[in-house]
Structure 1
Amino acid sequence: MTSPTAENAAAHAPTAGEYISHHLGHLTNIHQGFIVDFKVINYDTVFWSILMGVIGVFVLWLGTRRATSGVPGRFQGAIEAVVEMVEDQSKSIIHGDRRFIAPLALTVFVWVFLMNCLDFLPVDLFAAILRAMGMGEMHFRIVPTADLNGPLGMSLGVLAVVLYYNLKVKGVGGWVHELFAAPFGIYMAPFNFLLNMIEYAARTVSLGMRLFGNMYAGELLFLLIALLGALAGPFGIVGQIVAGSAWAIFHILIVLLQAFIFMMLTLVYIGQAHESH
């Protein structure tokens, strides 16, 4: 016999759509009234982005503090492997001074990788923690790269660095001349300028959208897998465990690959700023 409490809980249980919509909501300062609203701040994205940045800097700092000239341990070996990989990639793309660019690429790779790794945490973990703290059913997302604002913000930062190196390497006059003269000559100046502006905008948007799209899809799939146990009974629980484990293993590749792609495209765009047309 079902108790009234259990029946009441079942009656008020969220539907699949409500469950997913709730987990895709953000902890914000105000309600978003339009698709582009610069007054809205997603506190969860800001918090986790900064926290992963601090952890990334701490891990790299710890790696330098524990570095020895002898046989490296596992931790030092892992840090050295990442640093050498980034250095090799920057050396093959950037033909010039890399004293700032290589550390920048390393920071981008580690930061994006750590933010992506948050997707491995159980989807209902923080919802349960917030309920236990008496905060009710708050909206709270923990994957900054699955929020379009995060990847687009980073891609705008990459754009700022690219513009800086365009001015540093070519000078103001050289860069402005390139905007109007490349690629079809100065007689096609208006068309060249429009084409170059479109290229800058397209590269910036695609850089952020690529990372966001992959991480958002991964987060959504984890939510769908979490629903198996509730919707399909005992068989759903088994399917949830099997599917969740399989997707988590495959997702390791996605998390690492997306961090690598974001880092590589950052280097490619900065490298293009060093080239003259």
Structure 2
Amino acid sequence: MVTLTSGVIITSKEYINHHLHHLQLDLSSLKLITNDKVPSFWILNIDSIFFSFLLGIIFSLIFSLVAIKANKATNTNNSIPSKMQIFIELIVSFIDKNVKDIFYYQNNIIAPLALTTFVWIFLMNLMDLISIDFLPYVAKYLFNINLLRVVPSADINITFSMAIGVFVLILFYSIKVKGINGFIKELTMQPFNHPIFIPINLIIECISLFSKPISLSLRLFGNIYSGELIFILIASLLPWWAQWMLNLPWAIFHVLIITLQSFIFMVLTIIYIAMAYEKHD
């Protein structure tokens, strides 16, 4: 048996089910869904959207303030950077090196895109390390909200929307670099360069094209969702005073997972856009 933040005692199954439900807005009635009832199709996961925007704002503010401070220090000949500036410069240098190793074309958007993708996804994944019941308890105490999930990347809607953004960039640069005729030719004349194979080529290339955003979104979602589920299972099956024995080693291992998944999403984004630049004769 598990006690919710509201004080209600429920079974482990009900506890897990409760923590896997989002705070949702039903667009058909414009009402918040505050229970575990399965809503209609037209819904928004308010908690995922809120925490995604919040973490994006935090990321932008921190990096902007450090950049402004670094510029002021340069203008005043103050050559001693802060620890935060050194840390962020290491991240920027790391991203820049990976972009240069993968992307050989001239594009001023790719490096900022890679930095944003890596840091933003890392921050979303990092929310998985916050205690399962802490933020839901705060939401219940301050705003009387019964449902709250705080890990945006454990929501397939968030990961798929990010993957769709990458997919749009792939299409944009494919058409920009090759032209609409070149893009169509690539879909119909590869890998078999003969008109008789156009239907087969189109099927193969379309599958390859659409598999990119699907693989991006499902890989990130699957890894973070499973990590979140393990934390929920530990909280539901063990008493509070014994949970640290499993939570601590899993959290240490999970740090590697959330970092690796952020890096993989960033690298694949760069690779897919670089592939859009490639011309096949």
TM-score bracket, normalised by the shorter chain, equals 0.7 to 0.9
- Superposed CA RMSD in Å reads 2.0
Q: Answer yes or no: is the 8 Å Cα contact 1:151–1:212 preserved in 2.
A: yes
Superimposed CA distance per residue, residues 199-235 of structure 1 (whole angstroms, 9 cap, x where no aligned partner): 11111111100000010011011111112433xxxxx
Within-5 A mapping of 1:245-260 = 245-260=248-263
SS in 2 for 1:150: helix
Which amino acid is the alignment partner of residue 247 of structure 2? Answer: G
2:186 corresponds to which of 170, 175, 178: 178
> What is the alpha-carbon distance in structure 1 between the residues aligned to residue 190 and residue 226 of structure 2?
38
Q: Which moved more, 1:119-128 or 1:63-72?
A: 63-72
- CA shift at 1:121, angstroms? 1.1
| 1:134 to 1:176, Cα distance in 2 relative to 1, 3 A | closer
Task: Answer yes or no: is 1:165 the counterpart of 2:173.
Answer: yes
Deviation at 1:134, TM superposition (A): 6.0
The equivalent residue for 1:193 is 202
**What does residue 96 of structure 1 align with?**
105
1:20 is matched with 16
Distance 1:223 1:57 in 2: 30
Partner of 2:114: 105
Partner of 1:266: 269
Total equivalences in the alignment? 259
Residue 16 of structure 1, CA deviation: 0.4
Question: Aligned runs of 1:41-60 on 2, under 5 Å?
Answer: 41-60=44-63
CA contact (8 A) 1:44 1:141 kept: yes
Structure 2 residue ranges without an equivalent (≥5) = 27-36
Q: Distance in 1 between matches of 2:232 and 2:44?
A: 24
Q: Secondary structure at the match of 1:41?
A: strand
Contact 2:139 2:148 in 1 (8 A): no
Tell me the equivalent position of 1:3: none
Between the aligned partners of 2:138 and 2:89, the Cα distance in structure 1 is 37
Deviations 1:22-41 (A, max 9, x none): 0110111126557xx3x211
- 1:63 and 2:59 matched: no
Where has structure 1 moved over 3 Å in runs of 4 or more?
31-34
- Whether 2:43 is the aligned partner of 1:40: answer yes
Task: State TM-score, norm by structure 2.
Answer: 0.87
Task: Please say if 1:147 is aligned against 2:155.
Answer: yes
Q: Which amino acid aligns with 2:220?
A: L
Q: Which amino acid aligns with 2:136?
A: A
Question: Which residues of 2 match residues 180-259 of structure 1 at below 5 A?
Answer: 180-187=188-195, 188-230=197-239, 237-238=241-242, 240-259=243-262
Per-residue CA distance 1:45-66 (angstroms, 9 max, x = gap)? 1101111111111121122112
Hey, what's the Cα distance between the residues in 2 that align with 1:168 and 1:81? Answer: 33
* Kept in 2: contact 1:110–1:259 (CA 8 A): yes
Deviates more, 1:66-75 or 1:172-181: 66-75
Query: What SS does the corresponding residue of 2:246 show, helix, strand or coil?
Result: helix
- Give 5+ residue unaligned stretches, structure 1: 1-5, 231-235
Identity %: 39
SS at match of 2:253: helix
**Kept after mapping to 2: 8 A contact 1:90/1:98:** no
Q: TM-score, length-normalised on structure 1?
A: 0.88
CA contact 1:228–1:237 (8 Å) conserved in 2: no
Kept in 1: contact 2:121–2:262 (CA 8 A): yes
Q: Residues 136 and 149 of structure 2 are in contact (CA less than 8 Å); yes or no, is this contact kept in structure 1? A: no
The whole-number CA distance in structure 2 between the counterparts of 1:270 and 1:63 is 29
Q: 1:129 to 1:56 in 2, by over 3 A?
A: same
